[in-house]
Amino acid sequence: MTVQRRVIMEALAERKDHPTADQLFDTVRQRLTGISRTTVYRVLETLVGIGVAQKISNPEAKARFDADTSLHHHLVCERCQAIGDIHEPALNQIRLPEDNGTGFAITGYSINFSGVCPGCRTTKH
């Protein structure tokens, strides 16, 4: 593991807010002077590819990343776009259809729940 991969993975694992690559770049460049934004993006894709991080889709269309690769699902705030984890065992019991009529081989799933986070619920918009 390269120094860049280790530092980026550590920075990702320290966070629970599912940061964007740009947010991680801001953190990592304080630890590794001279690191480029492109390197952070490339390393994140590598970490996803080897299974030690996951990429999360969200409504704002910016990829978000998570060091927790266990089967879990997400809460997405419709107002501030914050993303949180939800660990609900019943959601992990969904049986994947073997024959879905499309020829598509389903290998996994992730559920995103949308709503309004506690912080936004207490603020007036």
pLDDT at residue number 101:
78
The SS3 of residue 97 is coil
Domains, the chain: 3-66 (1.10.10.10), 73-115 (3.30.1490)
pLDDT at residue number 61:
65
Nearest-angstrom CA–CA distance, 39 and 12: 15
Whether the CB-CB separation of 28 and 7 falls below 8 Å is answered with yes
**pLDDT per residue over 30-75, tens digit each?**
999 999 999 999 999 999 999 999 888 655 567 888 988 888 999 9
More confident residue, 78 or 23: 23
Model confidence, pTM? 0.63
Element (H, E) at 54: strand 54-56
- What is the share, in percent, of the chain residues with pLDDT greater than 90? 48
The values of phi and psi at residue 120, to 5°, are: -75, -25
Whether the CB-CB separation of 11 and 23 falls below 8 Å is answered with no
